[in-house]
Structure 1
Amino acid sequence: MYLSKQKLKHLNTVTHEGKIVVLATDAEGKISYTVKQDGFEDSYLNTPADQRTGWENWQTLEFADEADDQSVIEKEKAELTHQQNPSQYLLKSLYKTQNITAVAPVQAISALGHIYVFRQSKSNTLLVDRFILDGMTNKLNRKLEVRFKRSRQKHTPTKNMQQGSNGLVDIDTLDFRDANGKFFYEPTTELCLVNNLHKGWFSVVLVPTIENDVYRWHIFAYNSQTQKVELTTIRASEEGLFDVQDYTIFEESNDSLVPRKIPGVIKRTLDIKDVTVTDGLSATKYDLQQAQQTQSGEEQLLKTATRLMLAIPTDKGAAAFSFAIAGDGTLAEIDETPDSKLIRSRQREVLLPLNTLDEIKAIGDKTPPPQGIISGFAAGTDEEDIEDLVKISTNGGASELANYDLVKISGTSDYQGLYRTINVKQDTFEIDIPLDRGLGYWEKEDQEEGGLIFDGMITAYQKTAEGKLRVTCPNHGLENGDQVQITGTEDYNDSYPVRKIDDTHFVIERKWAIGEAVNVKLVSQKRRGIVFDGVDDYIDVTAGILPDSYTKEAWIKWEKSSGEFNIISGNSSHDLWIEDHRLWAGHKHNGSWYNVQDTTTLPENTWIHVAVTYDSSTQRMELYKNGQLIATSTNVPRLATSHPQIVIGAYNYGGLFKGSIAEVRIWKTARTAEDIKNSMYLQLTGKEVGLVGYWRLGGISEGKVADFSVNGNDGTVYGEPYVSAATLNRKLAGGTAAVKYSNSELFAVSERATYEESFEFKVNSANPVNLAYLDNADGKNIGTKIFTLSYWGKTSRSAEEKKTISAVQNKFEDLGNGWYRASCNVTIPDEVSLLRSFEIAKVQGDWQSLEIRKHRIRLLSDSITEAKYTDSVALTTLNYQQVGEISPDSDVNMFTAKLKMLTLKQEEENALLKEKREVEAKIASESALEGVRAEIRDLTWQTLTLIQKEQNLLSRLRKEEEQTENFYYKICSKNQSVYGVNGVRVIDTEYWHSITARIDENKDSQLWKLLPVPSLKAPLSCCVFKL
Structure 2
Amino acid sequence: MYLLKDKLQHISTVAHEGKVVVLATDAEGKIFYTVKQDGFEDSYLNTPADQRTGWENWKTLEFANEADDQSVIEKEKAELTHQKNPSQYLLKSLYKTENITAVAPVQAISALGHIYVFRQSKSNTLLVHRFVLDGMTNKLNRKLEVRFKRSKQKHAPTKNMQRGSSGLINIDTLDFRDANGNFFYEPTTELCLINNLHKGWFSVVLVPTVENDVYRWHIFAYNSQTQKVELTTIRASEEGLFDVQDYTVFEESNDSLVPRKIPGVIKRTLDINGVTVTNGLSATKYDLQQAQQTQSGEEQLLKTATRLMLTIPTDKGTAAFSFAISGYGTLGEIDKTPDSQIIRSRQREVLLPLNTLDEIKAIGDRTPPPQGIISGFSEGTDAEDIEDLVKISTDCGASELTNYDLVKIRGTSDYQGLYQTIKVDKNTFDINIPLDCRLGYWEKEDKEEGGLIFDGMITAYQKTADGKLRVTCANHGLENGDRVQITGTEDYNDTYPVRKIDDTHFVIERKWAMGEAVNVKLVSQKRRGIVFDGKDDYIELSQPLPIFSSSFTISMWVKVPANSDRGILLGDYQIPQSINVNFEVASGKIRFFWGGEQSLVGAKDLRDNQWHFISFVRDRENKKISGYIDGVLDFEYSGAVSDKQAVIAHRIGRDSREGVTNFEGQIADIRLWKTARTAEDIKNSMYLQLTGKEIGLVGYWRLGGISEGKVVDFSVNGNDGTVYGEPYVSAATLNRKLAGGAAAVTYSNSELFAVSERATYTESFEFKVNSANPVNLAYLDNADGKNIGTKIFTFSYWGKTSRSAEEKKTISAVQNKFEDLGNGWYRASCNVTIPDEVSLLRSFEIANVQGDWQSLEIRKHRIRLLSDSITEAKYTDGLTLATLVDDHATLAAKLKELELKEKQEIVLLKDKYLLEEQIRLLENVSELQQKVNILKSEYQKLETICNELYRQWEKEKRNPFNYYCRINNKCLNKVLDPHGGWDGWIIATALREPVSSPVQDHLLWEFIPHGNYYRINNKCLNKVLDPHGGWDGWIIA
Task: Tell me, yes or no, whether TM beats 0.5.
Answer: yes
Pick from 829, 832, 837 the counterpart of residue 831 of structure 1: 837
Q: Unaligned 5+ residue runs, structure 1?
A: 882-887, 904-1027
Residue 951 of structure 1 is matched in structure 2 by none
Residue 596 of structure 1 is matched in structure 2 by 600
Q: How many Å apart are 1:643 and its aligned residue?
A: 4.8
Q: In structure 2, what residue type is equivalent to 1:177?
A: R
Asked whether the equivalents of residues 150 and 158 of structure 1 are also in contact (C-alpha less than 8 Å), the reply is yes
Residue 627 of structure 2 is matched in structure 1 by 623
Residue 322 of structure 1 is matched in structure 2 by 322
Residue 579 of structure 1 is matched in structure 2 by 586
Q: In structure 2, what residue type is equivalent to 1:584?
A: R
Residue 36 of structure 1 is matched in structure 2 by 36
**After the TM superposition, which residues 327-342 of structure 1 pair with which residues of structure 2 at under 5 Å, given as runs?**
327-342=327-342
In structure 2, what is the Cα distance between the partners aligned to 1:789 and 1:279?
44
In structure 2, what is the Cα distance between the partners aligned to 1:184 and 1:5?
31
1:868 aligned to 2:868?
Answer: no
Q: How many Å apart are 1:653 and its aligned residue?
A: 3.3
Using the TM superposition, name which of 823-832 and 663-672 deviates more: 663-672
Pick from 559, 571, 574 the counterpart of residue 561 of structure 2: 559
Asked whether the equivalents of residues 546 and 644 of structure 1 are also in contact (C-alpha less than 8 Å), the reply is no
Cα distance change of structure 1 residues 54 and 434 upon mapping to structure 2, 3 Å threshold: closer
Residue 174 of structure 1 is matched in structure 2 by 174
Residue 273 of structure 1 is matched in structure 2 by 273
Asked whether the equivalents of residues 410 and 442 of structure 1 are also in contact (C-alpha less than 8 Å), the reply is yes
Deviations along 1:677-697, whole A, 9 cap, x unmatched? 222211111122222211100
Asked whether the equivalents of residues 751 and 830 of structure 1 are also in contact (C-alpha less than 8 Å), the reply is yes
In structure 1, what is the Cα distance between the partners aligned to 2:795 and 2:327?
27
1:858 aligned to 2:850?
Answer: no
Q: How many Å apart are 1:389 and its aligned residue?
A: 2.1
In structure 1, what is the Cα distance between the partners aligned to 2:230 and 2:150?
43
Asked whether the equivalents of residues 552 and 568 of structure 1 are also in contact (C-alpha less than 8 Å), the reply is no
Residue 161 of structure 2 is matched in structure 1 by 161
Deviations along 1:191-243, whole A, 9 cap, x unmatched? 01111111111111100000000000001111111111111100000000000
Q: How many Å apart are 1:425 and its aligned residue?
A: 3.9
Asked whether the equivalents of residues 604 and 634 of structure 2 are also in contact (C-alpha less than 8 Å), the reply is no
Q: Secondary structure at the match of 1:773?
A: helix
In structure 2, what is the Cα distance between the partners aligned to 1:378 and 1:114?
55
Deviations along 1:352-411, whole A, 9 cap, x unmatched? 100000000000000000111112222222222222222222111111110111111112
Asked whether the equivalents of residues 560 and 588 of structure 2 are also in contact (C-alpha less than 8 Å), the reply is no
In structure 1, what is the Cα distance between the partners aligned to 2:378 and 2:565?
73
Residue 821 of structure 1 is matched in structure 2 by 827
In structure 1, what is the Cα distance between the partners aligned to 2:423 and 2:53?
74
Residue 535 of structure 1 is matched in structure 2 by 535
In structure 1, what is the Cα distance between the partners aligned to 2:897 and 2:275?
23
Deviations along 1:683-722, whole A, 9 cap, x unmatched? 1111222222111000111211111111111111111111
Identity among equivalent positions (%) equals 78
Residue 632 of structure 1 is matched in structure 2 by 636
1:719 aligned to 2:725?
Answer: yes
In structure 2, what is the Cα distance between the partners aligned to 1:687 and 1:420?
79
In structure 2, what is the Cα distance between the partners aligned to 1:635 and 1:839?
55
In structure 1, what is the Cα distance between the partners aligned to 2:265 and 2:564?
50
Q: In structure 2, what residue type is equivalent to 1:558?
A: V
Deviations along 1:595-624, whole A, 9 cap, x unmatched? 333223335211111111113333221211
Asked whether the equivalents of residues 570 and 643 of structure 1 are also in contact (C-alpha less than 8 Å), the reply is no
Residue 982 of structure 2 is matched in structure 1 by none
Q: In structure 2, what residue type is equivalent to 1:338?
A: P
In structure 2, what is the Cα distance between the partners aligned to 1:529 and 1:510?
43
Cα distance change of structure 1 residues 492 and 900 upon mapping to structure 2, 3 Å threshold: farther
Q: How many Å apart are 1:477 and its aligned residue?
A: 1.1
Q: Secondary structure at the match of 1:306?
A: strand
In structure 2, what is the Cα distance between the partners aligned to 1:36 and 1:423?
62
Q: How many Å apart are 1:437 and its aligned residue?
A: 6.2
Q: Secondary structure at the match of 1:44?
A: helix
Cα distance change of structure 1 residues 735 and 891 upon mapping to structure 2, 3 Å threshold: closer
Q: How many Å apart are 1:426 and its aligned residue?
A: 5.5
Q: Secondary structure at the match of 2:527?
A: coil
Q: CA RMSD in A?
A: 1.9
Q: In structure 2, what residue type is equivalent to 1:763?
A: V
Pick from 613, 621, 630 the counterpart of residue 617 of structure 2: 613
Q: In structure 1, what residue type is equivalent to 2:866?
A: L
Q: How many Å apart are 1:83 and its aligned residue?
A: 1.1
Asked whether the equivalents of residues 619 and 638 of structure 1 are also in contact (C-alpha less than 8 Å), the reply is no
Residue 704 of structure 2 is matched in structure 1 by 698
Residue 119 of structure 2 is matched in structure 1 by 119
In structure 2, what is the Cα distance between the partners aligned to 1:92 and 1:639?
64
Asked whether the equivalents of residues 596 and 622 of structure 1 are also in contact (C-alpha less than 8 Å), the reply is no
Asked whether the equivalents of residues 571 and 643 of structure 1 are also in contact (C-alpha less than 8 Å), the reply is no
Q: In structure 2, what residue type is equivalent to 1:833?
A: S
Asked whether the equivalents of residues 546 and 646 of structure 2 are also in contact (C-alpha less than 8 Å), the reply is no
**After the TM superposition, which residues 57-456 of structure 1 pair with which residues of structure 2 at under 5 Å, given as runs?**
57-422=57-422, 424-425=424-425, 427-436=427-436, 438-456=438-456
Residue 23 of structure 1 is matched in structure 2 by 23
Asked whether the equivalents of residues 347 and 861 of structure 1 are also in contact (C-alpha less than 8 Å), the reply is yes
Cα distance change of structure 1 residues 598 and 644 upon mapping to structure 2, 3 Å threshold: farther
Cα distance change of structure 1 residues 626 and 899 upon mapping to structure 2, 3 Å threshold: farther
Asked whether the equivalents of residues 594 and 636 of structure 1 are also in contact (C-alpha less than 8 Å), the reply is no
In structure 1, what is the Cα distance between the partners aligned to 2:279 and 2:606?
72
Q: How many Å apart are 1:258 and its aligned residue?
A: 0.5
Q: Secondary structure at the match of 1:459?
A: strand
Q: In structure 1, what residue type is equivalent to 2:592?
A: A
Q: In structure 1, what residue type is equivalent to 2:370?
A: P
Deviations along 1:548-583, whole A, 9 cap, x unmatched? 122111011111235322212233521222223222
Q: Secondary structure at the match of 1:71?
A: helix
Q: How many Å apart are 1:631 and its aligned residue?
A: 2.2
Using the TM superposition, name which of 782-791 and 456-465 deviates more: 456-465
Asked whether the equivalents of residues 571 and 647 of structure 1 are also in contact (C-alpha less than 8 Å), the reply is no
Q: How many Å apart are 1:899 and its aligned residue?
A: 8.3
**After the TM superposition, which residues 736-751 of structure 1 pair with which residues of structure 2 at under 5 Å, given as runs?**
736-751=742-757
Q: How many Å apart are 1:306 and its aligned residue?
A: 0.7
In structure 1, what is the Cα distance between the partners aligned to 2:591 and 2:301?
90
Asked whether the equivalents of residues 117 and 129 of structure 2 are also in contact (C-alpha less than 8 Å), the reply is yes
Q: Secondary structure at the match of 2:424?
A: coil
In structure 2, what is the Cα distance between the partners aligned to 1:900 and 1:771?
58
Using the TM superposition, name which of 432-441 and 1-10 deviates more: 432-441
Q: Secondary structure at the match of 2:829?
A: strand
Larger radius of gyration: 2
Q: In structure 1, what residue type is equivalent to 2:556?
A: A
In structure 2, what is the Cα distance between the partners aligned to 1:639 and 1:895?
104
**After the TM superposition, which residues 741-890 of structure 1 pair with which residues of structure 2 at under 5 Å, given as runs?**
741-880=747-886, 888=888
Asked whether the equivalents of residues 561 and 607 of structure 2 are also in contact (C-alpha less than 8 Å), the reply is no
Asked whether the equivalents of residues 765 and 849 of structure 1 are also in contact (C-alpha less than 8 Å), the reply is yes
Using the TM superposition, name which of 418-427 and 332-341 deviates more: 418-427
Residue 577 of structure 2 is matched in structure 1 by none
Cα distance change of structure 1 residues 644 and 179 upon mapping to structure 2, 3 Å threshold: closer
**After the TM superposition, which residues 671-682 of structure 1 pair with which residues of structure 2 at under 5 Å, given as runs?**
671-682=677-688
Q: How many Å apart are 1:641 and its aligned residue?
A: 5.6
Deviations along 1:395-443, whole A, 9 cap, x unmatched? 1111111011111111222333333344724654433333446422111
Q: How many Å apart are 1:775 and its aligned residue?
A: 0.5
Residue 961 of structure 2 is matched in structure 1 by none
Q: Secondary structure at the match of 1:661?
A: strand
Q: In structure 2, what residue type is equivalent to 1:694?
A: Y
Cα distance change of structure 1 residues 890 and 255 upon mapping to structure 2, 3 Å threshold: closer
In structure 1, what is the Cα distance between the partners aligned to 2:894 and 2:665?
73
Cα distance change of structure 1 residues 900 and 619 upon mapping to structure 2, 3 Å threshold: farther
In structure 2, what is the Cα distance between the partners aligned to 1:421 and 1:128?
53
Q: Secondary structure at the match of 1:194?
A: coil
Cα distance change of structure 1 residues 256 and 571 upon mapping to structure 2, 3 Å threshold: farther
Asked whether the equivalents of residues 228 and 270 of structure 2 are also in contact (C-alpha less than 8 Å), the reply is yes
Q: How many Å apart are 1:44 and its aligned residue?
A: 2.1
